[in-house]
Amino acid sequence: MDDSLTLLGFGPEGWGHALLNGGLMTLAVSACAFALGLGLGTLCAWARIAGSAPVRRLAQGYGVVMRGIPDLLVIYLFYFGGRQIASVVAKQFGHVGPVEISGFAAGCLAIGLLSGATQAEVLRGAFHAIAPGTLEAARVTGMGRWTMFRRIIAPLALRTALPGLGNQWQSVIKESALVSVTGLVETLRAVTVAANSTELPFLFFLAGGAIYLAITTISGFLFRIAEWRSMRGQAAARTGG
């Protein structure tokens, strides 16, 4: 037991710093990918709701493709395929040799694109949950599109979408483990290196599971607080408080 605590600690023989840095990298990849997915999801939801027929088909095709391709394959396409394409393009400008692609950037782009397809459906469903009379009243009062989006659509849709977005955040955290195939030292890569170096796979993979569990548990708690705060005003209005 003492040996295990020493190996997991922050001392000279411990792997605590490596595991902590891996956990922080997991959070960084997840946050960037989720933000990208939220932006893409918002655009795709808008395209599916108010876009022209070609734009709607394009957004729908994006969702079908991203939901139909395995996550790991998308990461491989961005990281290994991206290096090949970058090398071909760089060769046209006189560059000789391979071009390296950041594992962090490839992972964020791949997971962000995958997450965006699902977030688009969450946001689209949240928009359709808004009472038609609410939107009609906003139009009657003379609100422009941007004002109506900012004051009516965004607050009401976000309130409905928060549980689904929370689930997507949890999925993004777990999908970030796949980025380890690029060599990026996030949580899974850090515990794998530690397990191979010490020949104690059970201890370090168990520690990795604890890190992921801690991140998802704290994240779930924060999203529940956000949901409660978003519903507080609505509950007060219903009770006349």
Residue 130: give its domain's CATH number: 1.10.3720.10
Any domain includes 187:
yes
Any domain includes 6:
no
Least Cα distance to 169 among 32, 22, 66 occurs for: 32
Any domain includes 3:
no
Any domain includes 239:
no
The structure's pTM equals 0.89
Q: CA–CA separation, 176 vs 212, rounded Å?
A: 10
For 183-195, give one letter per residue: b (16+ CB within 10 A) or e: ebbbbbbbbbbbb
Any domain includes 8:
no
Any domain includes 180:
yes
Q: For residue 206, give its domain range.
A: 18-232
Any domain includes 102:
yes
Radius of gyration of the chain (CA): 22
Instruction: Report how many domains make up the chain.
Output: 1
Any domain includes 24:
yes
Q: What is the pLDDT along the chain (241 residues), one digit of tens a residue?
A: 567 788 888 888 889 999 999 999 999 999 999 999 999 999 999 999 988 899 999 999 999 999 899 999 999 999 988 888 888 787 777 777 777 888 999 999 999 999 999 999 999 999 999 888 888 888 888 888 788 888 888 888 888 999 999 999 999 999 999 999 998 999 999 999 999 999 999 999 999 999 999 999 999 999 999 888 887 755 544 544 4
Helix (H) / strand (E) containing 169: helix 154-175
